[in-house]
Structures are given as C-alpha cells and as structure tokens.
Structure 1
Amino acid sequence: MADALDISSLCEDDDLMLLSTLLNEDDVKGPCLNLDDLSDEQFYSFFRFQRNDISRLCNALSLPLKFLCPNGTRVTAHEGMLILLRRLSYPNRLEDMKPLFNRSKSELSYIANTVLDYLYIKHSGKLSNLNQSWLDEEHLQQYADAISDIGGPLQHCWGFIDGTVRPICRPSVNQKLVYSGHKRVHGLKFQSVVIPNGLIANMYGPIEAKRHDSAMLRMSELLPKLEQYMTMPDGTVFYLYGDLAYPLRVHLITPFKGAILSDQERIFNGRMSKLRSSVEWTFGKILSLFAFVDYKKNQKLFLQPVAKYYLVASLLTNCHTCLYGSVTSEYFYLSPPALEEYMS
C-alpha cells in the first residue's frame, strides 16, 4: 500500500488502520490532535461520534492510512475524518477550527474537501444501489412487518419515499433555475427512501428545487429498480408508500384521492400519513447532526460542492444510525444493521 492517497487517483486499496498507529504517524505534516484534551461529551458534541467509534468508522469506510491533498498536505485518515466531521457538525468557520487542529485555514479546507471527495466517490453508491444484503427478501419482510405491527394497514410496505428541498444561498447567475416558488427559496432537491430501521435506503439528487416530486421520481428511474429488486420469485411485491405528489404504481402506493372519501379510506390515509412522518424524522436527523448543510448562507452553489456535502452527510447519518440507532428505529422497534454489515 502506498504511504498516502492521492485523491486524483483514488486508490482502491482496502488496507485498514488502527487508532494507535494513526496517532503516532511522525511523517505527517502538522501535529496530531490530542484527544485526551476533550471530555467524552465534548468529543461527541464536536464530532457526532463517540471517541471509541472513530477508528471503527474509518475502518468501515475503508479509509487509507493517509491522504495526500492537492496542495501537498498529508494527513492521517483519523485526523482527516475528524476535520471533516467537525466541519459538517456545525456551521463554523475554518478560522474557528484552527485552535482545535493547529492547522492553517488552507490546510483545513484542503483536508476536509479531500476526505469529502473520497467518501463521495467511493461510497455514494451506497445511497443509490438497492442490491444490498440488508434489502433482501428476509429483511424486506422484517421492514413490512415492523410497519404493520404498529398499525400500518399494508402488508408488504417496506419503506417511505419523499422529497426534500435544501435551501442554498441565492446564486449570482441562473437564479430562476434553482428557485422553488412553492417553498419560496433557492435550493436543491433530493429524493429519499427511508426504511423502518432508520436508514436512508436510497437517495437521488440533486435536481432543481422547482421540480415536482413526480418528475424527480421519473428522473431517478427508481420505479424500474423497484421492479427489478422488489418483486420476489414467488410473485410477492414489496412496495413503497408516498404522498399525493406521487403516481400510483405497483411498487408505489399513495393515499386515496378525492374530496369525498369513505370512512375506511380516511382511516387508511390517516394511519399511513402518521407512519410516513418517519421520513421527516430522518431528514431532521441529518440536519441535527450536520448543521453545516442547513446553513444556507454558506451553501454557495458555484463556490462549494453543496450537493456533495448533503450526500456525504446522509451517508454519515446512516453510519451514525447503525452505531446508535434513531428515533425512527425506536418508533418501529427495529434495530439497524451493524455498521460493518451496512458498509459491506
């Protein structure tokens, strides 16, 4: 394995590192972070993961031993991950991070973006690929049972779909392209599928905020993927549930429509609407953990990788859910997979 990762080449080496080794790399520019200076509470508040889980997180994400940034800065995977987590966890300035890491603003910027690029290129497929071990027939049935066990009237509903608009700073050009008249903000839109264990099973985006959810569904080509992976050999169909913005399909169930509904139809809509709110909880968890992506004044479309920030934050939120659970997993009484199983 090479001594450092050049992000332009994106080495696929899967060698893992140990925390004790990373904290004693002498040839890496800049002093390593002294973790002993932070209490456990401070550490979790700063980085959103517990102290003993950072090494496990780096291992699961298959980070190389060291990163080599475009400006020549070298950094261990451990420190690089901490810098990215701190950058995302709060809308703080690079200037505010200098005392914590004893690095210049330019170094911190290069390091955060290098690790961000690595995670996006190597692992963004985890948010789009439905061919996962935790999405096989056995697990789909567990998700469907978890939904029906707490009052869901559908037997094979395995998750919920919805779109979210992430506000951004008003761009200097082409403002109308990303302006949502409905939300009255400039932003980018993402489509997410959330399952009862709290994980984001699928995410598509970004597209312009003005786009309708049904248009985003068509652009994502999610329905053909659902037909491929969610139709079992015996003919059983597992389907998602979405709001009125989506079309009714074999693999996508929507509420009953119309001004006049029967009592049973109203009860159905009410029960499923209550359960579908779990999607909003997951959106909220991303913003709660990584508030940087919710600070629109610093989400500048042509100056920063705005969409990449949100996608990587979503991936890290899934990792957080695997380690610590979520409101959604507690609500449905269904534990997420282990971090290593999720990332396998």
Structure 2
Amino acid sequence: MNRRAAAAIVAICVSIKMRRRKKRSVWVKDWIKRRAQLGAYNQLLSELKNEDPECYKNFLRMKHDDFQYLCNKISPAIKKQDTNMRLAISVEERLAITLRFLASGDSYRSLSYLFRVPQQTISKIIPECCDAIYRFLKPNYMEVPSSEDCWKKKSEDFKNKWNFPNAIAALDGKHVVIKAPQHSGSLYYNYKGTFSIVLMALVDANYKFIYVDVGCNGRISDGGVFANCSLSNALSNGSLNIPPPMPLPGRAKYVPYVIIADDAFPLKPYLMKPFPFRNQPGPNRVYNYRLSRARRVVENAFGLLANRFRILRKPIELCPEKVIKLVTAICVLHNFLLERSSRHVYAPQGSFDEEIDGVVTPGSWRQDPPPDNILFSNRPLASNMSNESKEIREEYKEYFVSPEGEVSWQYRYIS
C-alpha cells in the first residue's frame, strides 16, 4: 500500500469518527445559566451571611470578613475578564467553591450542582485557587524564621508552654491518601497498603506550621523523606540562623537548640528523639514522657487539619501535582485562621489537647474516628546516632530529673 492510499484511509476513518461523535445540543445548560440568581454563592451564602452566621462559618470554615480579606488577597491571580459571550465567574465564587471543596471533600459533580458551575470549570478553578492561596498567604503566615531572635521566641514558647527548653519546633509526617495515579505501579504504595504522598511538617509550640514539604511518594520511608527535604539540608549546613548552643536552665553544659521528633527519625545534635524500646530505666522514661508531651503539638496540628478540612479524610481522586497544591493551601489556611479573628471559629476552646498539672483533656478533633492517613506509625526505627547526639540526649535526661527541670506530675506517667 502506497503512502497516498494510506493517507486516504486515515482521512476516511477520521471523517467517520467525527460524524459519529455526538453533537453538542447546547453550549451551556439552562440550569447553569441561572447561577447568578440561584447559585450557592449568590443565594445560599447570602442567606447564611445575613441570617445564620454560624452556619456560614461552618460552610467556609471562616467568617465573612476573613473570606473577603482572602478574596482581595488572591484576586490578582484568579480574576478573569468578562467577554461578549458570557460573564466571568467572580473571584468570590471561585474562592467559595475551593473552600467548600477543601472543607467537605465533595466531588466536583456534587459541587457543580450546588454552585451551578460545570465540572470541567471547577476542575480548573480549584487547583488555581489553591496555588494562589499558598503563594499570597505564605510570606505572612508560614515563613521559616530567618533570625536568631525569631528562633529564640519559638524556643521560649516551648519552654513556657511545654517545659522543654531549647526546643524550637516539633517534626512529623502524614500520609495523604490519593487514588493510585495512572501507570505509577507501586511508586506511591506505602506500608499501610494505600497510595499516598507525604506531608512532612515542622510545627511550633502554638500549633502553627513553620515549614512543610509535600509531594514525596508514599513508598519512601519517613527517614528518607526527611533526608531529602530542604529542611534537612538547611539544618545540616547551618543556614537557618538558629542561635548558638545554650545551657539548659540551672545547668552548665551547652546544648544546641533542637527539633523534637519520634522514633522514626534519626537522632542528630539538632534532632531529639525518644529512647527506643520498652523497659527503659526511670530517668529514660521521664525523658520520653517529656519529649512526647512537647511533641504533641504536631499531632494536634495534623488532627485539627484533617478535622476541619475533610478532604484529607478520604482518598483524593486527583493527580499528585494537584494534591500538592491542595495540601500546601490547607496548611497555610490553617495558620491564617489561627492567627486572625477566626481562631475562635476555626479552633475554639477545647479543639486541641489541654493539660493541667499533667491531666490531659483530649481535644475535640480526637472524637472523629482516625482516618487511614492520620500520622506515620509502626515504622522501622532510625538507628544512626552519633556520640555527640547521645550526649545531648543524656543532658536533657539529666535535666528532666533534676530539681531545676522536673515537673511535679511527671513520675505518674512513667510506670
């Protein structure tokens, strides 16, 4: 068969296929055309704002004033121009669709009925809005401290609130469950039997994220995730402007400012973890209790995140690149809502674990059954430890059982 004949056959096949393709009956469906009058933003949210502010806050996870602030902040990145054919979807509607998706985890189809916006349009709106939220809020609400004074303030918070001096942050990771990407094989398959990407986060004493790394495939071990993230490199080369070592209160030996983590991470001079295994001596158990107590901030931050943004409680049916945009936006929104006047809406009294004289009252987020993706657990222990790291941990242990460092209730929790 010569080239002309082959080309003719291909042209005929394409022509037949085009004829068989169903012709579009309407450009925009009638029920979508009525969005301006009956859509959720113009109708339902307007009613909630005026008649039931509490339900408005629950619907979007924030007050109207904060919603408007956010609209103004990200408007330059998501605003579209009207055309002669149709009016553009407003910035407010785009943001409302995105926030409702993050808050509820509803499908694009469900949101299309609620907001009277086509699914294909929603699939473009949500990643674009999430990207804008992260880019415009991050400089003010989720920046890694850049000066020694800022780090010292973080350390003072840990000392005053959690009785752990020289600590600057708590570190942990969370598997964000996703639908298996096409042709990915076992790349995203994790030890829990699900497909995921990893959120690695650094959290301060006030439950705020100060650093997140999102997107590493779930197959990689948590130690590997940490080793390959920019935070690990910055800690290793000393580029974070962390203050020089200082003695613990009432002690003479200088110890560095540290990050606290669990067994899955390596013990480093700048990274403290528990003594492994059971049947440890009493002072070791005291140290483990005090470290676990201070590290609770990262567990609470993850717990509240999944409780408020329910998209994190189910497998996300988007490609990993879009999931990364969703998760980073959620983390910066968490900080934004904790810092602004919406804190009592987003995290009212009792949301986080509370402790008085060692008696812990669980936070309200724990009332939800834990999702499959809540935290790392049952992981192999990291075991590479230097002598310097061990000496620093020993100094903390000695401090916690000394008159200067002990707390009255700690011995009740080491049996």
Choose the corresponding residue for 1:308, options 325, 330, 350: 325
AA paired with 1:231? I
Choose the corresponding residue for 1:164, options 168, 174, 177: 174
- Alpha-carbon distance in structure 1 between the residues aligned to 2:353 and 2:208: 8
Q: Secondary structure at the match of 1:255?
A: coil
- Alpha-carbon distance in structure 1 between the residues aligned to 2:152 and 2:145: 15
Choose the corresponding residue for 1:67, options 63, 79, 89: 79
* Counterparts of residues 187-202 of structure 1 (less than 5 Å): 187-202=196-211
- Alpha-carbon distance in structure 1 between the residues aligned to 2:80 and 2:120: 14
Q: Give the conservation status (yes or no) of the 8 Å contact 2:142–2:335.
A: no
| Residues 122 and 256 of structure 1: CA distance in aligned 2, closer, same or farther (over 3 Å) | same
- Alpha-carbon distance in structure 1 between the residues aligned to 2:335 and 2:63: 15
Q: Which runs of 5+ in 1 are unaligned?
A: 1-28, 333-344
Q: RMSD across aligned C-alpha pairs, in angstroms?
A: 3.2
Q: TM-score, normalised by structure 1?
A: 0.74
Choose the corresponding residue for 2:272, options 253, 272, 277: 253
1:165-186 C-alpha deviation (Å, 9 max, x unpaired): 11112344223111112x2211
Choose the corresponding residue for 1:208, options 208, 217, 224: 217
Choose the corresponding residue for 1:273, options 292, 310, 325: 292
AA paired with 1:261? Q
% identity of equivalent residues: 19
| Residues 111 and 120 of structure 1: CA distance in aligned 2, closer, same or farther (over 3 Å) | same
Q: Secondary structure at the match of 2:335?
A: helix
Rg larger for:
2
Q: Which moved more, 1:213-222 or 1:122-131?
A: 122-131
AA paired with 1:211? I
In structure 1, the partner of 2:239 is: 228
- Alpha-carbon distance in structure 2 between the residues aligned to 1:230 and 1:99: 51
Residue 283 (structure 2) pairs with residue 264 (structure 1): yes
Shift of 1:162: 0.5
Shift of 1:157: 0.2
In structure 1, the partner of 2:126 is: 112
In structure 2, the partner of 1:177 is: 187
Q: Give the conservation status (yes or no) of the 8 Å contact 2:170–2:261.
A: yes
AA paired with 1:201? I
- Alpha-carbon distance in structure 2 between the residues aligned to 1:42 and 1:278: 28
- Alpha-carbon distance in structure 1 between the residues aligned to 2:222 and 2:210: 18
- Alpha-carbon distance in structure 2 between the residues aligned to 1:187 and 1:238: 32
Shift of 1:205: 2.1
- Alpha-carbon distance in structure 1 between the residues aligned to 2:112 and 2:318: 22
Q: Give the conservation status (yes or no) of the 8 Å contact 1:75–1:111.
A: no
| Residues 283 and 66 of structure 1: CA distance in aligned 2, closer, same or farther (over 3 Å) | closer
- Alpha-carbon distance in structure 1 between the residues aligned to 2:189 and 2:100: 30
1:105-138 C-alpha deviation (Å, 9 max, x unpaired): 3333332233223334555677985245xxx434
- Alpha-carbon distance in structure 2 between the residues aligned to 1:294 and 1:222: 27
In structure 2, the partner of 1:13 is: none
- Alpha-carbon distance in structure 2 between the residues aligned to 1:251 and 1:160: 12
AA paired with 1:271? R
Q: Secondary structure at the match of 2:196?
A: strand
Q: Secondary structure at the match of 2:89?
A: strand
- Alpha-carbon distance in structure 1 between the residues aligned to 2:129 and 2:313: 20
- Alpha-carbon distance in structure 2 between the residues aligned to 1:37 and 1:151: 44
- Alpha-carbon distance in structure 2 between the residues aligned to 1:119 and 1:151: 32
- Alpha-carbon distance in structure 2 between the residues aligned to 1:321 and 1:284: 14
In structure 2, the partner of 1:293 is: 312
Q: Give the conservation status (yes or no) of the 8 Å contact 2:141–2:336.
A: no
Shift of 1:199: 0.8
- Alpha-carbon distance in structure 2 between the residues aligned to 1:195 and 1:249: 19
In structure 2, the partner of 1:322 is: 339
AA paired with 1:301? C
Q: Which moved more, 1:73-82 or 1:276-285?
A: 73-82
Q: Secondary structure at the match of 2:200?
A: strand
Shift of 1:294: 2.6
Q: Secondary structure at the match of 1:192?
A: strand
Choose the corresponding residue for 2:57, options 25, 41, 44: 44
- Alpha-carbon distance in structure 1 between the residues aligned to 2:208 and 2:267: 24
Residue 117 (structure 2) pairs with residue 103 (structure 1): yes
How many equivalent pairs are there? 295
| Residues 40 and 160 of structure 1: CA distance in aligned 2, closer, same or farther (over 3 Å) | same
- Alpha-carbon distance in structure 2 between the residues aligned to 1:109 and 1:301: 11
- Alpha-carbon distance in structure 1 between the residues aligned to 2:195 and 2:93: 34
Shift of 1:65: 8.2
- Alpha-carbon distance in structure 2 between the residues aligned to 1:107 and 1:56: 24
AA paired with 2:60? F
AA paired with 2:317? Q
Q: TM-score, normalised by structure 2?
A: 0.62
- Alpha-carbon distance in structure 1 between the residues aligned to 2:155 and 2:77: 40
Q: Secondary structure at the match of 1:175?
A: coil
Shift of 1:306: 1.8
- Alpha-carbon distance in structure 1 between the residues aligned to 2:207 and 2:286: 25
Q: Which runs of 5+ in 2 are unaligned?
A: 1-33, 247-255, 357-415
